[in-house]
Structure 1
């Protein structure tokens, strides 16, 4: 079991399991797991190296300086999860609008079904099972066209796509609340 202060050898293409400091020689590290950029960073004696980064040079020794749960990568993951779990104001507005919109659409569907009953007989297509089926076709058409699920899915999708695009630009959302 690796403990705080242990000295560990990191081989070529190896990675430190804990945040550490370099004890000997310079080394290049791939920190793309932390920064998102595939750019090698030169680290020298005494410089910190982070869990999740990859050694791209010859082997060297490091000393562990942090304990599990305090790792840089864990902190980034925790911040992103917290940001995605928080509802943004626009998401709450969309949810409220959707809940009212559902009621309104159902009222319009029922009204369409009822109004089609009072239309003159010449509009009725008797060959297709008479008035109930004919009115139901109109009601279903209104329901499909005004489908409320699109708004709820669109808001949720936009929320997560926006978070993903921000993460690609190395912007991490801490919370959806106003500062």
Structure 2
């Protein structure tokens, strides 16, 4: 009976990790698109820069937009990964003391809250700088890396030694 419970826990945990992974990685794509849209809008250029055959019809303004978006993306990545690295160390060591399930909720809740921040930014048409909030909140919870570390550690803890 304990093995059935363990298998059910394993399937449930894998399902949760899959859903949270989807909820983590998809907003990153949305964030990039939002930045492109807002930067292009600030330069009054929102036209397509490639045709269906891939022939570039880009102009100097399009290159300027791409360069500016690249700078914003670097800043956003630093905003998420610096606090995420520090939080990852803290949450992982905390998980060793209080249990993996408890520590696994920290990045999941932070990711959910950060996605809500990004949704509000889109809905209310806030400026680009509001996306710093989205990234910082996700980083405070340790982001995706901490979720994976805690998830794999939990799976390792509940898996019988015969199956490892």
TM-score by length of 1: 0.29
Higher-helix-fraction structure = 2
Larger radius of gyration: 1
Higher-strand-fraction structure = 1
TM-score by length of 2: 0.31
Higher relative contact order, structure no. (Cα contacts within 8 Å, ≥ 6 residues apart): 2
